[in-house]
């Protein structure tokens, strides 16, 4: 484990695997362990960097939180690694990927269903407040279940408890409740610019079974980027990178190495 000091003085930890050009994997609401199915598939040819977002794993934290601080953390890792890395982010990590690419030198960016809200959904979004209300009542698990229902299943799942019983991160995931609230508050406050000033080529990924609001959002991000393409995976949900790591890895490798096709369904 290595560390770097963020702009506000806290310690940001990051794992490093393999050797080659730098590839930074940015996790979302889950922990850095999210990338365990993905990292080994790149480490033979890339130096794979897995930062621990502030408040997660071995990284520090403080009482002052916003999206800009998270972006500064990513930039600190980029500076520590050196060169121009490829950034690959999932969900909130996808949003960090996009925003970090606006302020730091990167070679390419990849984002799977970045946590960007657009249109009517954004105007009505209140997930952070709904979760906080449950936390105020001492209902930590209820708050996180509400998050999982909305973010991972688009608000539509008949037997959430049955699904959770088969989901390995549960029930430990419930301990992330406060991190998830502040993260969702940052997502709700973020407004996607009409044009994203990013020169690096971008690959955007989504699944046909993902939440409808994130499928709408990834298309809005595609339109805002000057040099991007969108690939939609048939049958994948919001956790596509862990559902089918071989297919995701193959698509990302093809993009990094300069291959690939226009926007399409895979």
Unique residue bearing structure tokens 């609230």: 181
Q: What domain range is 134 assigned to?
A: 121-185
Q: Using the 3D structure, point to which of 185, 206, 232 is the last residue of a domain.
A: 185
Same domain assignment for residues 203 and 103 = yes
Residue 165, number of CB atoms within 10 A of its CB: 10
Tell me the β-bridge partners of 16: 49
Work out the burial of residue 213: count CB atoms within 10 Å of its CB; fewer than 13 is exposed, 13-18 middle, 19 or more buried: buried
* Per-position DSSP letters for 137-182, written without gaps between them: TT-HHHHHHHHIIIIITTT--S-HHHHHHT-TTTTGGGGGHHHHHH
Q: Using the 3D structure, point to which of 185, 210, 226 is the last residue of a domain.
A: 185
Same domain assignment for residues 30 and 161 = no
Return the CATH number at 12: 3.40.50.1820
| Beta carbons of 211 and 181 less than 8 angstroms apart | no
State how far the Cα of 208 lies from the Cα of 265, in Å rounded to an integer. 9
- In the chain, how many domains are there? 2
Same domain assignment for residues 202 and 97 = yes
Same domain assignment for residues 37 and 52 = yes
Same domain assignment for residues 19 and 92 = yes
What is the reported pLDDT for 152?
Answer: 85
Same domain assignment for residues 144 and 258 = no
> Which 8-state DSSP code applies to residue 109?
E
Same domain assignment for residues 152 and 209 = no
Same domain assignment for residues 86 and 199 = yes
Q: Pairing between strand 11-17 and 47-51?
A: antiparallel
Q: Using the 3D structure, point to which of 153, 185, 217 is the last residue of a domain.
A: 185
Same domain assignment for residues 96 and 205 = yes
> Which 8-state DSSP code applies to residue 107?
S
Same domain assignment for residues 177 and 202 = no
State how far the Cα of 149 lies from the Cα of 137, in Å rounded to an integer. 19
| Beta carbons of 226 and 196 less than 8 angstroms apart | yes
Structure tokens at 42: 């790149």
3-state SS, residue 87: strand
Same domain assignment for residues 217 and 154 = no
What is the reported pLDDT for 26?
Answer: 98
Same domain assignment for residues 106 and 201 = yes
3-state SS, residue 229: strand
**Comparing C-alpha atoms, which of 26, 69, 30, 66 is closest to residue 50?**
26
State how far the Cα of 18 lies from the Cα of 39, in Å rounded to an integer. 9
Per-position pLDDT tens, the chain of length 266: 999 999 999 999 999 999 999 999 999 998 999 999 999 999 999 999 999 999 999 999 998 999 999 999 999 999 999 889 999 999 999 999 999 999 999 999 999 999 999 988 888 888 999 999 999 999 999 999 999 998 888 877 888 999 999 888 898 999 999 999 999 999 999 999 999 999 999 999 999 988 888 999 999 999 999 999 999 999 998 988 998 999 999 999 999 998 555 565 66
């Amino acid at each position: 484990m290595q560390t770097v000091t963020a702009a506000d003085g806290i310690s940001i930890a990051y794992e490093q695997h393999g050797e080659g050009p730098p590839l930074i994997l940015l996790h979302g609401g889950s922990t850095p362990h999210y990338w365990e199915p993905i990292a080994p598939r790149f480490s033979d040819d890339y130096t794979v960097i897995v930062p621990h977002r502030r408040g997660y794993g071995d990284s520090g934290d403080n009482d002052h939180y916003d999206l800009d601080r998270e972006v500064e953390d990513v930039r600190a890792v980029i500076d520590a690694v050196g060169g121009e890395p490829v950034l690959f982010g999932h969900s909130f990590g996808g949003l960090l990927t996009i925003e970090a690419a606006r302020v730091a030198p990167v070679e390419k960016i990849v984002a799977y269903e970045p946590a960007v809200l657009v249109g009517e959904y954004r105007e009505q979004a209140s997930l952070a407040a709904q979760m906080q209300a449950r936390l105020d009542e001492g209902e930590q698990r209820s708050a996180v279940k509400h998050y999982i229902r909305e973010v991972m299943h688009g608000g539509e799942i008949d037997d959430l408890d049955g699904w959770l019983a088969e989901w390995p991160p549960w029930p430990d995931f419930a301990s992330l409740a406060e991190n998830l609230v502040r993260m969702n508050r940052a997502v709700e406050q973020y407004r996607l610019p009409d044009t994203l000033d990013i020169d690096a080529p971008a690959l955007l990924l989504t699944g046909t079974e993902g939440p409808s609001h994130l499928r709408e959002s990834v298309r809005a991000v595609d339109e805002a980027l000057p040099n991007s393409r969108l690939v939609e995976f048939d049958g994948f949900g919001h956790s596509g990178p862990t559902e089918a790591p071989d297919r995701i890895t193959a698509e990302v490798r093809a993009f990094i190495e300069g291959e690939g096709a226009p926007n399409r369904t895979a």
